[in-house]
Amino acid sequence: MLQINERLISWASILEEETRRQAEKASRLPFIHPHIALMPDAHLGKGATVGSVIPTLGAIIPAAVGVDIGCGMAAVRTQYHRDDLVGDLRRLRTSIEEAVPLSAGSYNSRLTESARRRVDQLTGEAETAGFDPLRYAKNWPLQLGTLGSGNHFIEVCHDESGSVWLFLHSGSRGVGNRIATHHIRVAQDLMRQRRIDLPDRDLAYLEEGSDQFDAYLRELRWAQNFALINRDEMMDRVIACFAEFVGGPVEQRERVQCHHNYTERETHYGEQVWLSRKGAINAGRGVAGLIPGSMGDASYVVVGKGNAAALNSSPHGAGRAFSRTAARRAFTREQLREAMKGIEFRDTDAFLDEIPQAYKPIDVVMRDAEDLVEVRHTLRQMVNVKGD
């Protein structure tokens, strides 16, 4: 742990100077209480640093949640052992790819029965919240149960004992992105109208008690729940594919869910704050969490230690060391193949920007996080599914 200033504490042993400067800008906002906690995987983001935990009094910064509201992880531990997975794992990978629409802009052509039930639930929640998600995305019901691209993934893994886990990473898809983008713009317009000077226009905020704040909070909470239910729908489909592959039912011995782009009301240092975790998970004492490595690397099932200075938070993954463009210039298809040796994956140049070398070493991130979480399980990939 390193205290950079009275309002910024960092757990990152690898921290680019530009990232540090960005976090320092946010830490100077007058409503931060008591400080921003910078996680071991911190890297440059839009306005607010990815891998930062931002507690605010009487305000929320929409960009401190980010445009993928509710993005996070889900994992299920099955009763199967890695030795039970006999046969061509390519068949399992392709069946998952057929069951779950991948990539940006790729959605369901129709709703399954389970997806329809979940859409009905979300429709009711939106009505209660007083808004219509159709204003943001006409096809939002068809987005439920879809993965997206970038660093979103589905994996079949095994832990240190050989137990097989199903593991995935996704968020609130296009509808969440449009909700976030709208409210970031609303906040920026308000700052201009009120002539409030900010260190970065993407740190524009909404004040508690205003109509704009209330509207954002209602829609934010809906999008967070959409993301969680989206992961549930995908996980159910992955379980079905896995059950067909192994030729038997799947017993869910453990199921873990966690957001890592979200805002909640929490109490820290004697004050109720709006706590925005942008690329960080809840690591309150005893709280289960998931920290993925990059494709080809280890991932972790953890339990929080409740570190007060870290605002009961921990990293959400490895954290980028190269931008996507820089990674595509720096690495080759052969290096990607070498990194993914022994793992069933779709061999394509589309994933060059997701090569493990484009990220901070996950073992360094986890070493930095030793006083934030305890590792319960270390997961190794057998099958990797991603969108282009």
Rounded CA-CA distance 305/296 in Å is 27
Two structure tokens written together for 183: 């409210």
State residue 361 phi and psi, 5-degree precision. -60, 125
Please compute, for residue 148, the number of CA atoms within 13 A of its CA located in the half-sphere on the CB side.
Answer: 21
Q: Which helix (H) or strand (E) holds 51?
A: strand 50-56
Provide the residue type at 349 as one letter: D
Per annotation, catalytic residue among 152, 158, 259, 316:
316
Which value, in Å, is the radius of gyration of the alpha carbons in the chain? Answer: 20
Residue 152 bears catalytic tag: no
Two structure tokens written together for 318: 């490895």
Q: Which helix (H) or strand (E) holds 235?
A: helix 211-246
Rounded CA-CA distance 229/221 in Å is 12
Rounded CA-CA distance 80/207 in Å is 50
Closest of 9, 71, 12 to residue 361, by C-alpha: 12
338 contact partners, CB below 8 Å, separation of at least 6: none
Q: Count of CB atoms within 10 A of residue 18's CB?
A: 11
b (16+ CB within 10 A) / e for 265-294 = ebebeeeebbbbbbbbbbbbeebbbbbbbb
Closest of 97, 55, 105 to residue 277, by C-alpha: 55
Catalytic residues: 316
